C-alpha cells in the first residue's frame, strides 16, 4: 500500500520508477466475501489517495465510511464519543480492505508511462553504491537505480541488506482478525472496547457486518484461536458486552503477533525506508498504514523539490529532510500507542479510576476534544502538500 502510493506520486512527476512486488495484485470481486485484512483509512490518507487518482477506484470497489467513533473501558463507566459533523467532517474515516487499497493504487500505476510494475518478482540481492545501486531479482534480471526505497514491510529485506538496525519490543499481544455478523447494524460507527487483556474493535463494513481486531495477551489469543466457532462467538459476545446485539457468525480467523519496531535510521545515501519497513505500531488506533502513506507523500515532496532545485535526490542531505520530518511525527504516534496500551491493559483500581475519569472528562471538553481528534485523524500538523485539503 505504501510503496504503490509513493510510486504513483513519483510517477505523476515523471520520475522513472520500477516497482518490485512479490505477488501479482488481484482485484476483488464484489460477490466475494470480505477480506480479513482491512484498514481504517484516515482523512489524510484519503486526500493522498485522491491526489494520486486512486481514491475513486477504492470507493467504486468496497469502502465503508463511518460517521461516529465510540471508545469505552470495560472496567468502569468511562467512554468517549466522536461524531463527524462536530469535527467539521463528512465522515471520520473509511474501513477499506487492504486488497482494495492495493489494487486501486496498482491500477493507477499501470496508467503512468514512467512506472514499470515488476510482479511477481522478488528482490534477491542488493549491491549498494553511493553513485547508484544494483538490484538483482529472482529471475536474475538486474536493475540499476540512483535511489532505492524500501517499502517491503515489517521484515524488510532491503533494510536488512543495508545494515539498518531496529529498536524492537513485543507488545506481548496478538491481534485476531475476522468478519462478524451481529443481530444489530453497526450504525456507521467504529467501536472499540478496552478490556484489561487488550482492545477489541468492531469496524463497520458496507453490508452491515463488522471486521474485528481483537488484541489479547499471547496466551489468551492462542486460546481464542484454538476455539471452535461456537466457543469463540460466546467469548466475543461477552468481551463486546452485547453492544451490537447477538453475535451470529464469525468468519475464518487469523492472528498477528504485535511488535513495535522503529528503524534507527530511515535513510542512507541512495536509500530510504517508508511504511512498515521503517516502523510498526500497535493497531489500537488504526494508524500503521496511515503513517506510511504520510511517509510516502513526504518523501515524494522532498524528492520532487530536490530535483526542482537541481539537487541530488539520493544524497544524504536531501534524504535527511524526509527523515527529520517523518521520524518526529512517527515517534510521537508510537509513544502514544505504547502509553495507551499500558494504561488500558492495567487492572490496578487506581489506574482504572484515572482512565475512566479521564475518558469522561475529555468527552466533556468541546473544543479540546475536537482538537485531539483532528490531530489523531491526521487533519492537523505538519502534513505533506498531497495530504492537505481545503475541505473535508
Ligand atoms: C491486525 C492489524 C490491523 C491493522 N489495522 C490497521 C488500520 O486499521 N489502519 C492502519 O492504518 N493500519 C493498520 N494496520 C497496520 C497496517 O496493516 C500496516 O501498517 C501496513 O500494512 C503497512 O503497509 P506497507 O505497505 O508499509 O507494508 P506491507 O503491507 O507489509 O507491504 C509490503 C509489500 O512488500 C512486498 N515484499 C516484501 N518483501 C519483498 C521482496 N523481497 N521482494 C518483493 N516484494 C516484497 C510484500 O509482498 C508486500 O506487498 C494493522 C495491522 C495489523 C497487524
- Residues 381, 205: Cα–Cα separation, whole Å: 29
Each residue of 168-191: pLDDT tens digit?
999 899 999 999 999 999 999 999
- Residues 298, 387: Cα–Cα separation, whole Å: 9
* Better-scored residue on pLDDT, 348 or 384: 384
The answer to whether the CB of 213 is under 6 A from ligand 1 is: yes
Q: Is the pLDDT of residue 23 over 90?
A: yes
Task: Return mean pLDDT, the chain.
Answer: 92
CA atoms within 13 A on the CB side of 385: 8
Query: What is the distance in A from the centroid of ligand 1 to the CA of 25?
Result: 14
The answer to whether the CB of 152 is under 6 A from ligand 1 is: yes
Each residue of 336-376: pLDDT tens digit?
766 666 666 666 766 677 666 666 666 666 666 677 777 77
- Residues 153, 135: Cα–Cα separation, whole Å: 18
Looking at residues 288-316, what average pLDDT do you find?
97
- Residues 307, 21: Cα–Cα separation, whole Å: 26
Query: Confidence class of residue 285 from pLDDT cuts 50, 70 and 90?
Result: confident
Q: Is the pLDDT of residue 389 over 90?
A: no
Looking at residues 118-145, what average pLDDT do you find?
94
Q: Would the CA dihedral through 33, 35, 39, 44 be positive or negative?
A: negative
Longest dimension (CA), the chain: 64
Cell digits of residue 312: 541530488
The answer to whether the CB of 323 is under 6 A from ligand 1 is: no
Each residue of 76-87: pLDDT tens digit?
888 889 899 988
- Residues 300, 11: Cα–Cα separation, whole Å: 10
Residue 75 has what pLDDT?
Answer: 86
- Residues 46, 353: Cα–Cα separation, whole Å: 37
Cell digits of residue 113: 508511462
The answer to whether the CB of 272 is under 6 A from ligand 1 is: no
Q: Is the pLDDT of residue 202 over 80?
A: yes
Backbone angles phi, psi at 26, to 5 degrees: -115, 140
Looking at the chain, the whole-number percentage of residues with pLDDT higher than 90 is 78
DSSP 151-211: -S-TT-HHHHHTT--EEEEEEEEEEEEEEEEESS--TTEEEEEEETTEEEEEEE-TTS-EE
Which of 8-17, 84-93, 195-204, 356-365 has the least mean pLDDT? 356-365
Query: What is the distance in A from the centroid of ligand 1 to the CA of 10?
Result: 20
Residue 351 has what pLDDT?
Answer: 67
* Better-scored residue on pLDDT, 258 or 336: 258
Residue 362 has what pLDDT?
Answer: 65
Amino acid at each position: 500500500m505504501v510503496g504503490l502510493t509513493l510510486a504513483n506520486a513519483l510517477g505523476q512527476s515523471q520520475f522513472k520508477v520500477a516497482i518490485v512486488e512479490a505477488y501479482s495484485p488481484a482485484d476483488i470481486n464484489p460477490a466475494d466475501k470480505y477480506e480479513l485484512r482491512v484498514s481504517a483509512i484516515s482523512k489524510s490518507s484519503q486526500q493522498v489517495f485522491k491526489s494520486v487518482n486512486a481514491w475513486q477506484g477504492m470507493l467504486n470497489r468496497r469502502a465503508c465510511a463511518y460517521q461516529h467513533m465510540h471508545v469505552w473501558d470495560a472496567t468502569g463507566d468511562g467512554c468517549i464519543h466522536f461524531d463527524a459533523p462536530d469535527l467539521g467532517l463528512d465522515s471520520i474515516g473509511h474501513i477499506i480492505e487492504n486488497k482494495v487499497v492495493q489494487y486501486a493504487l496498482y491500477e493507477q500505476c499501470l496508467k503512468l508511462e514512467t512506472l514499470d510494475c515488476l510482479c511477481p518478482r522478488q528482490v534477491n540481492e542488493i549491491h549498494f553504491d553511493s553513485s547508484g545501486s544494483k538490484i538483482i531479482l529472482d529471475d536474475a534480471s538486474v536493475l540499476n537505480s540512483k535511489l532505492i526505497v524500501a517499502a517491503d514491510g515489517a521484515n524488510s529485506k532491503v533494510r536488512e541488506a543495508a545494515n539498518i538496525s531496529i529498536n524492537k519490543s513485543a507488545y506481548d499481544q496478538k491481534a485476531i482478525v475476522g468478519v462478524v455478523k451481529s443481530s444489530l447494524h453497526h450504525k456507521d460507527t467504529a467501536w472499540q472496547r478496552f478490556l484489561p487483556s487488550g482492545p477489541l474493535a468492531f469496524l463497520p463494513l458496507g453490508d452491515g457486518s463488522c471486521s474485528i481486531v481483537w488484541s489479547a495477551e499471547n496466551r489468551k489469543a492462542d486460546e481464542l484461536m484454538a476455539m471452535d466457532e461456537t466457543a469463540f462467538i460466546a467469548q466475543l459476545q461477552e468481551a463486546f458486552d452485547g453492544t451490537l446485539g447477538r453475535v451470529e457468525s464469525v468468519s475464518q480467523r487469523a492472528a498477528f503477533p504485535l511488535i513495535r519496531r522503529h528503524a534507527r535510521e530511515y535513510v542512507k545515501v541512495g536509500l530510504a525506508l517508508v511504511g512498515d519497513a521503517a516502523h510498526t505500531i500497535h493497531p489500537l488506533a488504526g494508524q500503521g498504514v496511515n503513517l506510511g502513506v504520510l511517509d510516502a507523500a513526504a518523501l515524494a515532496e522532498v524528492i520532487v523539490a530536490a530535483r526542482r532545485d537541481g539537487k541530488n535526490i539520493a544524497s544524504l542531505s536531501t534524504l535527511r529532510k524526509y527523515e527529520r520530518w517523518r521520524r518526529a511525527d512517527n515517534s510521537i504516534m508510537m509513544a502514544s500507542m505504547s502509553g495507551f496500551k499500558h494504561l488500558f491493559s492495567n487492572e490496578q483500581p487506581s489506574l482504572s479510576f484515572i482512565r475512566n475519569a479521564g475518558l469522561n472528562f475529555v468527552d466533556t471538553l468541546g473544543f479540546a476534544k475536537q482538537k485531539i481528534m483532528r490531530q489523531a485523524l491526521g487533519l492537523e500538523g505538519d502534513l505533506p502538500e498531497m495530504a492537505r485539503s481545503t475541505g473535508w
